[in-house]
C-alpha cells in the first residue's frame, strides 16, 4: 500500500514546490494579471487537495487492517498527544471537585 502511495506523494510535493515558486514569480511580475495569479493559486489548491486525499486514503487503508484493540489505541498515537492517556471525564471531574472542596476548606479556616 505505502509503496504505491510514496512515489505519488513525492510527485505531488515536487509539483507543489514548483507551482509555489511559479506563483511567487507571478506575484512579483509587473506584467502578471490577476487571472494568471489566481489561476496558479487554483492549481496549488488542486494539488493540495490531491495530497490530502492521498494522506486520508492511506490512513483509512491502515485503519482497515487494525484490530479493535489497535483502533482503541489510536487516540494515543495522534500527533501532538505525546503519548498522553485518553481523557477520562469522570476522573477529571472528580479531581476538580476535590480541589474545589480543598479550597473551600482553606477559606473557612
SS3 assignment for the chain: CHHHHHHHHHHHHHHHHHHHHHHHHHHCCCCCCHHHHHHHHHHHHHHHHHHHHHHHHHHHHHHCCCCHHHHHHHHHHCCCCCCCCCCCHHHHHHHHHHHHHHHHHHHHC
Q: 72-102: per-residue pLDDT in tens?
A: 999 998 888 765 655 554 544 444 444 444 4
Spell out the domain ranges in the chain: 2-108
**pLDDT per residue rounded down to tens, the chain (109 residues):** 677 789 999 999 999 999 999 999 999 999 999 999 999 999 999 999 999 999 999 999 999 999 999 999 999 988 887 656 555 545 444 444 444 444 444 444 4
Contact 71, 63 (CB under 8 A): yes
pTM listed for this prediction? 0.66
Amino acid at each position: 500500500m505505502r509503496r504505491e502511495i510514496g512515489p505519488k506523494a513525492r510527485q505531488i510535493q515536487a509539483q507543489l514546490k514548483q507551482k509555489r515558486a511559479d506563483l511567487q514569480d507571478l506575484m512579483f511580475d509587473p506584467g502578471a494579471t490577476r487571472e494568471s495569479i489566481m489561476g496558479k493559486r487554483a492549481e496549488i489548491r488542486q494539488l493540495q487537495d490531491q495530497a490530502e486525499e492521498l494522506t486520508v486514503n492511506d490512513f483509512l487503508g491502515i485503519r482497515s487492517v487494525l484490530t479493535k484493540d489497535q483502533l482503541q489505541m489510536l487516540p494515543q498515537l495522534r500527533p501532538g498527544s505525546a503519548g498522553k492517556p485518553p481523557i477520562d471525564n469522570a476522573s477529571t471531574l472528580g479531581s476538580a471537585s476535590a480541589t474545589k472542596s480543598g479550597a473551600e476548606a482553606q477559606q473557612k479556616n
